[in-house]
């Protein structure tokens, strides 16, 4: 599993697997992206991060508060071609992102102001290795009725790794087979399913996909066995 210590020491060129040179962002590009995002911070209100994938079960960064929240106008989609981490260029998987439309329920983390830059630098190193996301400030409805401004990583549809077709029939075979230095693509999917179930949350985009991936893996295991 990805740990804070691993990420602090990681060389982005090699730690996640082989990433095509033209896609890899430099430290300077990540720093510029972070600075531009913070420059758009609304009214210097507390910084909340919206987690909808692995940030839910393995956030790594420090936070002063965690709350369930619903993001209107965006839905989960495995629309990011995964060539590192839990996939390779020769056997790519699919990573989760947010696409426009619908809603997403996940976790919101309020970052400590005194450690804000340090925690966000670590988050950018994790999420923006290739600059595939657009860090976006959004209104987030928390389960206790509050509305806060949160930053969410949404898919950049102009990015070279963006895949428009994210229907289960297309992506299940990819997720069932892909793996990389951080583990298997399927384990990521199952971890998301378990985390949502544990919290009593639900996302109908996962039901068919999880079933298809499980069936493909069982079929493969039976053939091998």
The residues annotated as belonging to the active site are 127
Cα separation, 27 vs 128, in Å, equals 10
Residues 14, 222: Cα–Cα separation, whole Å: 34
What distance in Å separates the CA atoms of residue 153 and residue 126, rounded to the nearest whole number? 11
At residue 61, the 3 state secondary structure works out as coil
Cβ atoms of 93 and 139 within 8 Å: the answer is: no
- Burial label, 41 (beta-carbon count in 10 A; 0-12, 13-18, 19+): middle
Nearest to 135 by CA among 107, 105, 155: 155
In sequence order, the 6+-apart residues with CB closer than 8 A to the CB of 17 are 83, 84, 85, 87, 88, 180, 181
Structural element, H or E, at residue 49: strand 48-51
The whole-angstrom separation of Cα 64 and Cα 87 is 33
Q: To which H or E segment does residue 219 belong?
A: helix 204-224
**Phi, psi angle pair for 106, to nearest 5°:** -155, -150
């Amino acid at each position: 599993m990805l740990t804070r210590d691993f990420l602090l020491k990681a060389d982005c060129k090699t730690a996640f697997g082989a990433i095509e040179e033209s896609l890899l962002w430099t430290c300077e590009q990540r720093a510029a992206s972070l600075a531009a995002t913070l420059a758009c911070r609304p009214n210097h209100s507390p910084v909340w991060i919206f987690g909808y994938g692995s940030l839910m079960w393995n956030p790594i960064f420090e936070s002063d508060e965690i709350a369930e929240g619903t993001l209107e106008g965006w839905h989960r989609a495995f629309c990011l071609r995964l060539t590192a981490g839990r996939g390779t260029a020769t056997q790519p998987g699919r990573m989760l992102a947010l696409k426009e439309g619908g809603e997403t329920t996940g976790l919101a983390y309020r970052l400590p102001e005194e450690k804000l830059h340090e925690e966000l630098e670590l988050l950018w190193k994790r999420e923006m290795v290739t600059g595939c996301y657009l860090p976006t400030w959004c209104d987030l409805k928390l389960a206790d009725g509050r509305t806060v401004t949160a930053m969410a990583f949404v898919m950049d549809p102009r990015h070279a790794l963006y895949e428009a077709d994210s229907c289960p029939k297309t992506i299940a075979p990819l997720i069932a087979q892909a793996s990389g230095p951080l583990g298997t693509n399927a384990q990521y999917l199952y971890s998301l399913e378990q985390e949502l179930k544990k919290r009593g949350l639900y996302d109908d985009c996962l039901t068919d996909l999880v079933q298809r991936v499980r069936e493909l893996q069982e079929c493969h295991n039976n053939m091998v066995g």
